[in-house]
Structure 1
Amino acid sequence: MQRGNDRLSVHRDDEMKHELQGLLRSGHPTRTEEWHDPEPTADDDPEVAGGPVAPGSTGAPFETVRLELARILGRTSFPAGPGELTAVLRRENAPDVLVEALERLPRKDRYQNVQELAEALTRPGNAGSENAGRGSQ
């Protein structure tokens, strides 16, 4: 006879073992443990399956790059040039591919907002583009 300070009775313990039996045997979620399943992704979630957002890659459309830049930079970072924005990205621990893409932009250009910056980063051949950064006037 066990005389411990158990919170559960022997019957409840057996009941809990029975509830977990399907999960333990199969190794994957069963219908009785729906609360344990991960939530499916939403349609507007950024794509993370291919790794970090990389401007200019086929897996990173303009909207995704703009969303990631807006999330990291915010409104207070503008207007600014690539040097200032690179410093902010590094301080905020942004993905390296995003920082490296920003470093390839012409140093003399200035960007008024995230929209202009994202356009410059996603434009084909952004490293030597003369039109990158419309705010350079």
Structure 2
Amino acid sequence: MQRGNDRLSVHRDEEMKHELQGLLRSGHPTRAEEWHDPEPVADDDPQVAGGPVAPGGSGASFETVRLELARILGRSSFPAGPRELTGVLRRKNAPDVLVEALGRLPRTDRYANVQELTKALTRPGNVPKGSR
């Protein structure tokens, strides 16, 4: 039964089903041209499957934490203390694990750049025991 509000015609719908049939049956791309296939994951792609980057978390190296903080905070946030940086992270909808990690830093400390902040966050005394 046709309702008349379909985005595609019946013929185009059948054509698309035919195009996808090989992919659905085989489980891998069936096109001869490489440019049709999705791009594989690169070594330097952000870690998406493991969740947000957490200081001290599994797979979260110093460089990964620094990259994530730099991406969110930028240069204009520095110099600043943990309280100001926590506000910036919340305004920019940063992952809760980063906001919580900043909350564990001494309030009197000031950080001139992302490098200093990352060193403080990844210090052994600041990393929570459950994330090692």
Q: Tell me whether the two structures share a fold, i.e. TM-score over 0.5.
A: yes
Unpaired segments of 5 or more residues in structure 1?
1-9, 128-137
How large is the Cα RMSD of the aligned pairs? 2.8
Paired position in structure 1 for 2:37: 37
- The structure number with the bigger radius of gyration is 1
Q: Report 1 or 2 for greater relative contact order, CA contacts < 8 Å, sequence distance ≥ 6.
A: 2
TM-score with structure 1 length normalisation? 0.72
- Residue equivalent to 2:90: 90
Percent identity over the alignment? 84
- Compared with structure 1, are the counterparts of its residues 113 and 51 closer, same or farther at alpha carbon in structure 2 (3 Å cutoff)? same
Deviations 1:72-127 (A, max 9, x none): 00000000000000000000000000100011000000000000000110111127
Residue of structure 2 in register with 1:50 after alignment: 50
Q: How does 1:1-137 map to 2 (within 5 A)?
A: 19-32=19-32, 34-126=34-126
Structure 2 counterpart SS, 1:40: coil
SS of match in other structure, 1:71: helix
Residue 4 of structure 1: aligned partner: none
**Match of 1:115, as an amino acid?**
Q
Deviation at 1:58, TM superposition (A): 3.0
How many residues get paired?
118
